[in-house]
Amino acid sequence: MTNDEAMKIRYFFFIVTVVLASCGGVDEKPVTNDKPIEPKVEVPVFNQDSAYSYIESQVAFGPRVTGTEVSDKCAAWLTAKLSQWMDTVAVQKGKVVAYDNTGLNIKNIIGSYLPGNNNRIFLCSHWDSRPYADYDPDKANHRKPIDGANDGASGVGVLLEIARIISTVKPKIGIDIIFFDAEDYGTPGDLQDQTHKEDTWGLGSQFWAKSLHESGYYARYGILLDMVGAENAQFHQEGFSKYYAPDIVRKVWETARSAGFSDYFVMTEGNPITDDHYYINKIANIPTIDIIHTEPGTRGGFFTHWHTMGDTMDKINKNTLYAVGQSLLHVIYGEK
Ligand code: AHN
Ligand code: ZN
């Protein structure tokens, strides 16, 4: 090759290099995500058989009507179960006035994981059973107490299973599990028009919200479970939850749906319901949502056997328990 040819070749490569360099100049930075990549959190598996057995145990005591001997026995059992798994357990005792002006001795039971951690949430459910099957088709049953397998025991069963899991796979945030007494002691249906008494439901949560079990108690938010065990249950986005805690509703429903439970956690707005979370929002000012099975078209607006003698163990469905429990685990282990 002549000198001239060699120069031409060198010149050619010089031009190619310049062109390539200038082309790459615009977006030369290596491709990165804006957010740092976070390690994927391991979410433990919810055991619906275990939750089911905790519901069975409660129902086996008989109706857990506030202030009765059966109620005392069940309270002792719940306290023992929570003590097995949580760091601390407190029983908040109180006296409240019922719809008929009788005094009721109540027990709210609170288990705490990482009690010293200010970054915390709580999960709750009522553990009492309604003294009156006032929605039973047979009028003769309207003053009989109910088993409350779904209305009461189901939420507690799911939360006991979560307590057990928390003790084996440690979440990053603090968690309280609260069982409220006397939620279901509200005025019987046939007396509603005669006794104009406000706020006869949620007596345990009202007591707790006014006089927290620990002075200065703080939680970022709360989640209430109510009737979370019936087959094909649907959880509409309850009205007070959307009003007081819209971000938590969004977070929980999005989490549940992306975990595969969109048949249960539906995107429709439900009516506002005077449940424990209402008093927690109003009195204690902690944004709290209610995951509650409502059913437009039924007489009470809830699941078919609501406040009837038919709210029994055979109405409990393990797939529903799994949907709720696994969704809650995704929420808990996704928090930091
Ligand atoms: C009312 O019917 C006003 N509140 C019902 C709340 C409830 C009862 N949840 C379970 N049992
Ligand atoms: Zn009830």
Could you give the strand order of the β-sheet that contains 103-113, starting from the edge strand earlier in sequence? 88-97, 103-113, 174-180, 120-126, 222-226, 288-292
Q: Ligand 1 pocket test: which of 184, 235, 277, 298 has the largest number of ligand atoms within 8 Å of its C-beta?
A: 184
Number of domains composing the chain: 1
Q: Flag whether 216 is in a domain.
A: yes
Q: Flag whether 72 is in a domain.
A: yes
Q: What is the structure's pLDDT at 41?
A: 80
Q: Flag whether 48 is in a domain.
A: no
134 C-beta closer than 6 A to ligand 1 = no
273 C-beta closer than 6 A to ligand 1 = yes
Q: Flag whether 249 is in a domain.
A: yes
Tell me: pLDDT of 192 over 90.
no
Full residue range of the structural domain in which residue 227 is found: 57-334
Q: Flag whether 171 is in a domain.
A: yes
**Mean predicted lDDT score pLDDT of the chain:** 91
Residue nearest to atom 9 of ligand 1 (CA): 275
Tell me the CATH number at 288: 3.40.630.10
Q: Flag whether 36 is in a domain.
A: no
Per-residue pLDDT tens digits for 207-261: 999 999 999 999 999 999 999 999 999 999 999 999 999 999 999 999 999 999 9
Helix then strand then coil, % of the chain, to nearest 5: 40, 15, 45
Q: What is the structure's pLDDT at 322?
A: 99
| Number of Cβ atoms within 10 Å of the Cβ of 246 | 13
Q: Ligand 1 pocket test: which of 199, 200, 302 has the largest number of ligand atoms within 8 Å of its C-beta?
A: 302
Q: What single letter denotes the amino acid at residue 324?
A: V
Number of H helices, E strands in the chain: 9, 8
Q: What is the structure's pLDDT at 31?
A: 54
Range 117-139 burial, b when 16+ CB lie within 10 A, else e: eeebbbbbbbbbbbbbbbbbeee
Q: Flag whether 254 is in a domain.
A: yes
Q: Flag whether 10 is in a domain.
A: no
Tell me: pLDDT of 21 over 50.
no
